[in-house]
Structure 1
Amino acid sequence: MEDRASCCVIDKSEQEICERVLDHISAAGLWRIPGEHTDSPRIHRVSPEPFALSRDQVETLRKLGDALLAFYSAVNDLYLRGGHGWVNEYLDIGKPEELLRHARMKYHKHALPGIIRPDILITDDGFQITELDSVPGGFGHLDCLSRAYEQAGFELVGSGVRDRFADMLRSRTEAPDPVAAIVVSEESIDYLPEMTYLAEELRDVGLRAFAVHPRGVSFTEDGLFIEPEGQRLRVDVLYRFFELFDLLNIPKAELISYAARKKLVAVTPPYKPFLEEKMLLALIHHVALDDYWREAIGEERYFLLKKTITCTSIMDNRPVPPHAHISGWRWNGRPFRDWRVLKEGTQKQRRFVLKPSGFSPLAWGSRGVRVGQDMPAEEWAVAVDEALSSFDNTPYVIQSFRDTTLIGVKYQDESGQIHEAQSRVRLCPYYFAIEGRAELGGVLATACPKDKKLIHGMIDAVMAPCCEGSS
């Protein structure tokens, strides 16, 4: 259990702060859970204070941003140069050839995702990154929460989601007064309210930004156009809030892709599916790439990432030669050559997490995640077999399950009373790639009840921005 110092002293009651936060996010139309249909009167619990981080934790988060951006750049170079063919082989699995050709085109050779969001667990051993997302949701909700707490007098970690998002979009185009379209697919439609909210916030700082469905985008030989409130506007930069695995289901997807290839519009994140795989977490730990990472991202950043990114491996179903074994893994104290041995473990031994790597609806959210110790033995055995059998189309990764530190987090209940619960906490820092640097816009903390194995937004979770504690 961990005690935390508060952010600062505020001359408002805890109930007043909670009501201010509730009123603010309700007025913004964000008091709902993306992807959830529930009669609950809330989408998550509200805290009377931001989640406090230590000075060392904040400093680590700031260092992680540039380290992760350097890592994405190194992966981009590694893939496009093709010096390690087996890396490309892994990252190309399951993708259509047309998309792979687009990914390798020279027009966006150096393009990287505009937003990087790791999922970070707080453990007794420090931060542990379990996910990397370059098409993340949640940053509109974080911006809204942040404004409410700032209005209550709190100082938060980060330089502001709205302002950094605006800077990132502007940096992707040379247009002096750009028009930005945030295109939200049907698959991601539950996030349209927060993207609409963000677009309104961007317009408040002078960026002509609009959240639209793909059907709202039209194409001519001059470029892409949208018509918000009857205005016909040419789009200079398009924020792609849709997954590449879903392209066949997205209206106008081919036209948007064509416009990007012809440089009629700047699209971010770029059409590079190899940058949207959980397998990237496994590559940082791969011994065959050790020298490459050291040289490409530097010793300090490499060791920071290797220490922080949780142990991850690719569930490759191909036979291992008799003289070799699966690197970095042992079972009952001995090396092994076949992932299927993991099916035999007791509940205590099954401290593993299986996840689809990417380019699949199962990789969205936590749909395809399986926690070994939380399943009956028979179901875990089936999950291992399914992960291996899907390798040729949807590879899976396996991670060690990490226990999180129990931390006391305050929240307001439905009657207005303030309580404190021991919780498991995930941090989601949002980094915006601007002129070669990763700018920290803000950090969203999600605190779930201690009996939950997976930490994500839910009605029993507390969600709040982060501040730096006084100690």
Structure 2
Amino acid sequence: MRTRLMEAGLHDGATWRISPTPFLLTSADLSAIQSLGQHLLRFTHALNRLYYESVRGAQPTWVADYLDQGKPPDLIAYARMNRFRTALPGVIRPDLILTEDGFMISELDSVPGGIGLTGCMGQAYTDLGWPIIGGRDGMVAGFARMIRSLHESREGAHSPVASAEQRVPAPLPNPPQPSAARLAIVVSEESKDYRSEMLWLAARLREAGLPAQTVSPDDVIFTEEALFLAGSTPLTALYRFFELFDLKNIPKSELIMYAVKKGHLALTPPMKPWLEEKMAFALVHHPALEPFWTHELGADTFELLHRLMPKTWILDPRPVPPHAVIPGLTVDGHSVSDWKVLASLGQKGRRFVIKPSGFSELAWGSRGVSVGHDLPQTEWAAALEAALASFHQVPRILQEFRKGRHVAVSYHDPVTDEIVPMPGRVRLSPYYFIAGEVGTEGASAGPPSAKSVELAGILATVCPLDKKLIHGMTEAVMAPCTLA
């Protein structure tokens, strides 16, 4: 296993701990994760609609004000263009923490890493005889179907003679067959740590018959009619593996945006910053928006997500009116109307996490995260004060802390050549690929019922019990999942 990962450039011998087996999921956990994808697609669709309705005043205008906070006006204006209105991400990846009563969603990632890593490990463990969730080639096939769906729907949307029926893509074959789609996976310098896995993914896509290259933004060649790579025919699709906060540092980003605006190629994930904000969880829990969520999601989906998404608040420093309280936030059973009350809480009372909401280099991984009960009181108070002070530049959220349940895994120690047991807590990262009708920017559109949601694989990251935050680290065990 280690040799295969190192040959693919995905492991340097000490990047993380390698397990002799995949991570075992119970049938109940797997069933819940399989059904979650459709609920999250409905949520993404509803969040997008909430934003646009807030912009035009049909929903509270403070929703769009919050989601636009800290974003450059030119990006907001671009993202709001009518031609992009229905565009949604083609990949949805939640981070799930297994808890004593099931699991909770710690966040959603629209530009997720790990696609190539999960795919490579899935192939390797399958070749060793393990039935991996999603199958040996699930990640590659799911990604390919998603890209082909973007291409086919874009072709229909831009054809002057295409009827509404013709614009619905035909059922996609499995495994994928050769297609006219031509893909560039564009990886920025800021995201260079993921370049190796995207190179692996592009190579597997080519083997599956989909022309694909992983490139830097500088490699993209612009003309008034199309985007190219050196010596290639025009690109039809671009997978954005760079963050929107980094646009000013992305060579040719304005040319890419222009080509997408003109319909020269499809782009996913769409450049919609409001779909990449952790504060969306706070909107789910805001009582003023409950009628909207219930109507858009349906009672069952809203109840499920309200339970799985931890209570979250936007750390807004503006004074709360004297007659009001911060919705849902209590200390010792009493409502709170001033954030400063939280600064003096004892260790047991500050079971909260502070995170950058999005649009910041601190908003991914564990960077910028403060765990209240893991900090001395003075450091917690300082973190809270800094979060409130940063509201206008980088809004932060306050989220209730939910403890993960204990799991047991093992890993191979390359020094002693022994299998070592390790108790820990696990983060599960399922990858859902969306196919079906798409918007003109090239990401999924239309009602969720018009699209398929495919669970292509699940990556488990297990950290030792003394780690409060679960993320990739040298002490973590990482593996794809299988049914116990």
Q: TM-score, structure 1 length as denominator? A: 0.91
Which consecutive unaligned segments of at least 5 residues does structure 1 have? 1-20, 33-40
Amino acid of the structure 2 residue aligned with 1:418: I
Counterpart for residue 189 of structure 1 = 192
Match of 1:73 among 34, 45, 51: 45
Contact 1:412 1:418 in 2 (8 A): yes
Task: Report Cα offsets for 1:199-239 as digits up to 9, x if no partner.
Answer: 00100100001000000001001111112xxx223110000
Which consecutive unaligned segments of at least 5 residues does structure 2 have? 156-178, 437-450
Once the two structures are TM-superposed, the CA of residue 81 in structure 1 deviates from its matched residue by 2.3
Q: How is 1:227-246 mapped onto 2 (pairs within 5 angstroms)? A: 227=230, 231-246=231-246
CA distance in 1 between partners of 2:134 and 2:388 (Å):
41
Given the alignment of the two structures, is residue 132 of structure 1 paired with residue 108 of structure 2, yes or no? yes
Given the alignment of the two structures, is residue 338 of structure 1 paired with residue 318 of structure 2, yes or no? no
CA distance in 2 between partners of 1:365 and 1:411 (Å):
23
Counterpart for residue 22 of structure 1 = 2
CA distance in 1 between partners of 2:452 and 2:308 (Å):
20
Contact 1:408 1:422 in 2 (8 A): yes
Q: How is 1:193-342 mapped onto 2 (pairs within 5 angstroms)? A: 193-227=196-230, 231-342=231-342
Secondary structure of residue in 2 paired with 1:147: helix
Counterpart for residue 29 of structure 2 = 57
Of stretches 285-294 and 209-218 in structure 1, the one that deviates more from structure 2 is 285-294
CA distance in 2 between partners of 1:275 and 1:27 (Å):
36
Counterpart for residue 164 of structure 1 = 142
Counterpart for residue 461 of structure 1 = 476
Counterpart for residue 448 of structure 1 = 463
Counterpart for residue 144 of structure 1 = 120
Amino acid of the structure 1 residue aligned with 2:99: T
Amino acid of the structure 1 residue aligned with 2:477: V
Identity %: 50
CA distance in 2 between partners of 1:250 and 1:112 (Å):
22
Secondary structure of residue in 2 paired with 1:362: coil
Aligned-residue RMSD, C-alpha:
1.1
Secondary structure of residue in 2 paired with 1:172: helix
Once the two structures are TM-superposed, the CA of residue 107 in structure 1 deviates from its matched residue by 1.4
Once the two structures are TM-superposed, the CA of residue 158 in structure 1 deviates from its matched residue by 2.2
Counterpart for residue 422 of structure 2 = 421
Counterpart for residue 37 of structure 1 = none
Contact 1:179 1:207 in 2 (8 A): yes
CA distance in 1 between partners of 2:280 and 2:333 (Å):
27
Q: How is 1:357-436 mapped onto 2 (pairs within 5 angstroms)? A: 357-414=357-414, 415-435=416-436, 436=451
Counterpart for residue 7 of structure 1 = none
Task: Report Cα offsets for 1:157-183 as digits up to 9, x if no partner.
Answer: 125111000111111112551110000
CA distance in 2 between partners of 1:466 and 1:337 (Å):
44
Secondary structure of residue in 1 paired with 2:3: helix
> Paired residues, what number?
438
Match of 2:70 among 94, 114, 119: 94
Counterpart for residue 160 of structure 2 = none
CA distance in 1 between partners of 2:336 and 2:7 (Å):
56
Once the two structures are TM-superposed, the CA of residue 287 in structure 1 deviates from its matched residue by 1.1
Once the two structures are TM-superposed, the CA of residue 333 in structure 1 deviates from its matched residue by 2.0
Contact 1:145 1:465 in 2 (8 A): yes
CA distance in 2 between partners of 1:432 and 1:146 (Å):
16
Secondary structure of residue in 2 paired with 1:58: helix
CA distance in 2 between partners of 1:265 and 1:87 (Å):
31
Counterpart for residue 174 of structure 2 = none
Contact 2:331 2:349 in 1 (8 A): no
Amino acid of the structure 1 residue aligned with 2:368: G
CA distance in 1 between partners of 2:297 and 2:482 (Å):
29
